[in-house]
Amino acid sequence: IAAGNVLWGQRDVQGQDKIISAFSSTSYLDMNAGISSYGKYGNVPLTDSAKTIILEKIAEKIGINHYVIEDTMEDNNSVKTLSQNSKNGDVICKFITIAQHAGGQDVSSEHYIYVGISLKNNIDSAFTYEKMVEEIMKDMEIDTTVTVNLKGEVQGKLGTDVKDALTEQMLSKMNAKVQAENKTDDAYTIYAYDSDIKNYITIGSNKVNINVSMYYDEEQNVTTVYFSTPINNEDY
């Protein structure tokens, strides 16, 4: 903790601890975390070997060494993917090349990097990995935001009043003020801002760095509760 205070600043550590504490105030059937970031790497031509080396350096910084690398096409874009799965979590890193065409030929390319880490049945180290991904992107001079999604499952379909109560329970443990909301039968999303958390995005003229969202899975009969910072970037 002392080392973290020196590296990240006491203000950031307090903000991270509050997020973990606020989310954990509800009893869930299961808790997981996802950390991800995506940004433009550049447009300099790169060989296949160079892309592999870049992904392997990312894997080394994360601390994985039993990964596999494969090449695929996604939406007509060339994608080189490094991945490793384990019982405690998964890592997936993608080097995406988007070719620009003219006259039926490739005239230029843009490169993008995606880094995603999922933690299974454990959220305590989510912000340790957030800082790790931030440093990886910074070292590659990629201007991007790292997103942390804490996820928990609650049995059954929840009414709006119950969702409101869960949201209030979580936000009451923070210095968060609601900035916008969308409550329908299909979507429940609350956007808030907490000045104790350094990162934020803007929606309109409002700062946002806390996002509560909930999704009901009819087949599983469970409601997934997302507590994200600065915003939930997953499909739900």
What's the CA gap between 197 and 214, in Å, rounded? 22
Is it the case that residue 154 has pLDDT exceeding 90? yes
Q: What is the pLDDT of residue 90?
A: 97
Is it the case that residue 24 has pLDDT exceeding 70? yes
Q: What is the pLDDT of residue 76?
A: 85
Is it the case that residue 203 has pLDDT exceeding 50? yes
Is it the case that residue 103 has pLDDT exceeding 70? no
Is it the case that residue 10 has pLDDT exceeding 60? no
The alpha carbon torsion through 206, 198, 129, 168 (nearest 10 deg) reads -60
The answer to whether 123 and 33 are in contact (CB under 8 A) is yes
Which of 183, 196, 190, 202 lies closest to 228, judged by CA?
A: 190
What's the CA gap between 153 and 225, in Å, rounded? 6
Q: What is the pLDDT of residue 234?
A: 82
Q: What is the pLDDT of residue 187?
A: 85
Mean pLDDT score across all residues of the chain: 89
Averaged pLDDT, 67-79: 94
Q: What is the pLDDT of residue 3?
A: 31
Is it the case that residue 83 has pLDDT exceeding 90? yes
